[in-house]
Every structure is written in structure tokens, then in C-alpha cells.
Amino acid sequence: MSAIVEVWRGPRVESRHELSVAVVDATGRLRASAGDPGLVAFARSSVKPFQAMPLVEDGAADRCGLEPAELALACGSHSAESRHVEAARAILRRAEAKEEMLVCGPHVPMSSTAAKTLMARGVAPSRIHNNCSGKHAGMMLLAHAHGWPLAGYERPEHPVQERVLHEMERWTEVAGDEIETAIDGCGLPTFALPLTALAGAFARLARAARRGERGPARIVAAMVDYPEYVAGTGRMCTGLMRAAEGRIFCKVGAEGVYCAGVPGAELGIALKVHDGATRASEPALLAVLAALNLLSEEELDTLEPFARPVVRNTRGDAVGAIRVEIQLEPVA
């Protein structure tokens, strides 16, 4: 079955984005798909919940007094709003680390308001404003709790990254030597996986959280209870988890990746827009959830800016729309 997101300008389709989708249950069974569910793609930031798992499972969160909102930030790609920056700094203090030890480079805050505030103050963005600073701070906290060196925490051979790779093996059920790696935009290893394996990981996390298993339950609870720390104001991860009221947890990844877990249904969803367009991945994920009857029309209405995006010109006039055409093929 095909999956296409069309960008309309006036009466004509101006652009098309193709994508692939895998819907998998906690046993690893493919339940529905579109495009190529076996497509291998770099997961990018979508796997941050798994990268943060050792914080809870190894006891670092408890020993260092990590707050639930801070755990959510470690799972997130934040917008560098003031609450995000404060939480990232709090994690660094718990790790007895300094901002300059963060490996992630500086970039302009994803929040336009935060970016304008920095500009008005004449302050250049620093590493703490990187959307991945919460994840990096969490990794240094893990190193601190274990007594491992903080320096080099980003290197594949560091105990932190070896521990993360173990979690990726555990949840995806793919052997570590079969997981292709490269360097993510923030300087950490990123993992190339089939969409089926990525969706399966989210399904298993959903099942484990529903069963009340300690690490998974705390990770998922932090995300759905503090979704504004997973993303930020006006972001879809935050909006979707708020609208679903705990029934769904989700995480965006760069280059058109989006994943979600559904504890009640014990399903995982992974999609990849082939050309990497985020403007296509957001409405596509919502369309998949709606097709699976996991979101109501009322909930979609609250998410209208993401579900039915409007194309606007520089004056703010509506000049087109983004529309999703997804036909999921059920697997008997």
C-alpha cells in the first residue's frame, strides 16, 4: 500500500513526499504497513527514550535525585525554552559537570520566542541550547553515577555508549553487531534499523510500561506527564501526548522519522519520510493513528495545525494545504 503526503498550492499539487510505515505488536509481528516496512533508516532522536533507559534501570535517577521532568528532558528534543535550559543545567549539576563538557554543539533555539529573547539580550546560543542537551546531560549523569569518566562519554567505546547499545539490542531484538551506526547531528552514535525493528522496540516499551516494569514505566510516565519537556510549546510531540492523555507516547527524529508507542494496544509505529521532510512526518503519524482508530476526530481537531497543516505565505495568508494519503495494508 502507498503512503504519500501532498503539498497543495491553490488548486495544484506542488510537491509529494513518499514514506514508509511499520505497525508492529509487542511480539514483533507486523500488523499493518505502507510503503516498505523493512526500510532501514537512521533512527536519530526517536530512540532517546531507550538511550535514557539506563538512568532508571541502573539506579542513577534515584541516587542522584533526578526529577520526572528532567527525565522527560533526557528523552526529548527540547526547544530551549527557559524551563528546558534550567532543567538541563539541573541535570549537569547532579552530574557535577559543566556546560562546556557537553559534546553537542550550539544552535539557535528551536523555539522562536527563545531565539528572539537571546538575540534581544545579545547572547549567542551555547551548547545548553542544543535540543539534545538533556540527553547529553543525562549520559554524563549516568557516567557520574557509575564512577565512569565523564570525558569521552560520546565515544562508542565509552561505557555509557556500550550501555546504550545494550539497550538498543534489548528493545529492538537486533544484535549489536548487526546495528549499523554513524554519528548523529549532536555528536553521539545513531543507529540504522529496519522500521519493523524500530516499531517493535516502541511496542515492547509500551507493553513493559503497561505491565509496570520499573524502567519502562518511569520513562513513559515522565514523557506523558511532562510532554512539554519532551518537545516544547507548539510542538507536535507535546501536543499529541497532551491530547491522548497518556494513551500514546511519541518521539520525533530528524530527517522525517517519527515513532509512537501505544500501551493499551501494545503497538509500536515507526515511519520514515523518504526525502526527510518533517512537514510530512507530522501529519503522516497522525493519519496512521487515526487509521488505526487510536485517535478520535475530536482529538484530531485539537491537533489540527499538525493533522491538517495550512501552507501560508510570508504575510500569513492561507495559500495551500498539506494532505495525507495513506492506505495501511493489514497483515492477517
Residue burial 67-80, b: 16+ Cβ < 10 Å; e: rest: bebbbbbbbbbbbb
What is d(CA 163, CA 146) in angstroms, rounded to the nearest whole number? 11
Q: Using the predicted structure, report yes or no on whether residue 332 has a pLDDT greater than 80.
A: no
List the one residue out of 119, 70, 129, 121 whose CA is nearest residue 94.
70
The dihedrals phi and psi of 35, each to the nearest 5 degrees, come to 65, -135
58, 229, 48: which is closest to 144 by C-alpha? Answer: 58
pLDDT digits over 298-318, tens only?
A: 999 999 999 999 999 999 999
| Cα–Cα dist 40/147, whole Å | 36
Identify how many contiguous H helices and E strands the chain contains and give both numbers: 14, 12
- As a whole number of angstroms, the distance between CA 114 and CA 97 comes to 24
Q: Which amino acid is at 230?
A: V
Residues 6+ apart with CB under 8 A from 155: 161
Domain ranges of the chain: 3-65+164-330
Nearest to 56 by CA among 214, 172, 224, 263: 214
pLDDT tens-digit series, residues 271-299: 999 999 999 999 999 999 999 999 999 99
157-183 residue pLDDT tens: 999 999 999 999 999 999 999 999 999
Task: Tell me which residue of 238, 261, 259, 230 sits closest to 248, measured CA to CA.
Answer: 261
Question: What is the 8-class DSSP label of residue 106?
Answer: P
What is the residue-wise DSSP string for 168-201? HHHHH---GGGSEEEE-TTSSEEEEEEHHHHHHH
| CB of 254 closer than 8 Å to CB of 192 | no
pLDDT at 2: 80
pLDDT computed for residue 168 by the predictor: 98
C-alpha span between 245 and 290 (Å, rounded): 16
Per-residue pLDDT at 277:
96
The CATH T-level fold of domain 3-65+164-330 is Beta-lactamase (3.40.710)
Average pLDDT, integer, range 27-46: 98
Please give the Cα distance from 156 to 139 (Å, whole number): 13
**pLDDT at res. 331:** 82
Task: Give the tens place of pLDDT for each residue, 39-63.
Answer: 999 999 999 999 999 999 999 999 9
CA distances from residue 316 to 7, 201, 249 in whole angstroms, order as listed: 17, 40, 32
For 200, other C-beta atoms within 10 Å of its C-beta total: 27
Q: Which residues pair with 190 in a beta bridge?
A: 182
Q: CA-CA distance, 303 to 282, in Å (whole number)?
A: 10
Helix (H/G/I), strand (E/B), else coil: 6: strand
Sequence letter at residue 253? G
33 exposure class (CB count in 10 Å sphere: 0-12, 13-18, 19+): buried
User: Is residue 24's pLDDT more than 70?
Assistant: yes
Which of 249, 189, 232, 222 lies closest to 85 in space, CA to CA?
Answer: 232
Confidence category of residue 3, pLDDT binned at 50, 70, 90: very high
Strands 40-42 and 30-34, sheet pairing: unpaired
75-88 residue pLDDT tens: 999 999 999 999 99
Tens digit of pLDDT for each residue in 245-260?
999 999 999 999 999 9
* Angle in degrees, CA 29, 23, 295, rounded to 5: 135
Residue range 114-153, pLDDT digits in tens: 999 999 999 999 999 999 999 999 999 999 999 999 999 9
- pTM greater than 0.95 (yes/no): yes
Locate cell 561505557: which residue?
Answer: 159
Q: What is the pLDDT of residues 190-216, one digit of tens each?
A: 999 999 999 999 999 999 999 999 999
